[in-house]
Amino acid sequence: MTTPGTTESPLSILCRGCGLCCDGSLFTHVGLEADELERVRALGVATRQLPSGTVVLAQRCSALKGRDCQIYKDRPSSCAEYQCLLATSLVEDEVTLEEAQAVVRKAQRLIAEGHARRFLRQRFRGRKGLD
């Protein structure tokens, strides 16, 4: 994930190893700004049109490979601004990266078992960035 000479933030490491906000576990779609549509399509990311006519990124996002966003540095603003509750806890030093990664593994296990709804709501449903 990191290239020589660069370091990735703990938040980036967490997000790029999780993918729950991109795989359909939390959301059915992600909104796009009007000026992002052409760029997202040029990157090869699939979109869909809602009955209202609004074009969105359908979830599971086609830019997600495994749990890693292939357009992370160029992702739409809604994606870049979103911060789940677990990510907020990491940023605010309430949990370590290792603890947060353990929560992600638990969520993925619960999803596989079909018992994740409440856990996801409590740990992952978040808000746009804190800025």
Q: What is the mean pLDDT of each run of 10 residues along the chain (131 residues)?
A: 65 93 92 92 94 93 94 92 93 96 94 88 64 36
Query: What is the structure's pLDDT at 121?
Result: 82
Q: Where do the domains of the chain lie? A: 10-128
Query: What is the structure's pLDDT at 131?
Result: 36
**Predicted TM-score (pTM) of this structure:** 0.80
Instruction: Encode 65-104 in three state secondary structure.
Output: ECCEECCHHHCCHHHHHEECHHHHHHHCCCCCHHHHHHHH
Query: What is the structure's pLDDT at 117?
Result: 84
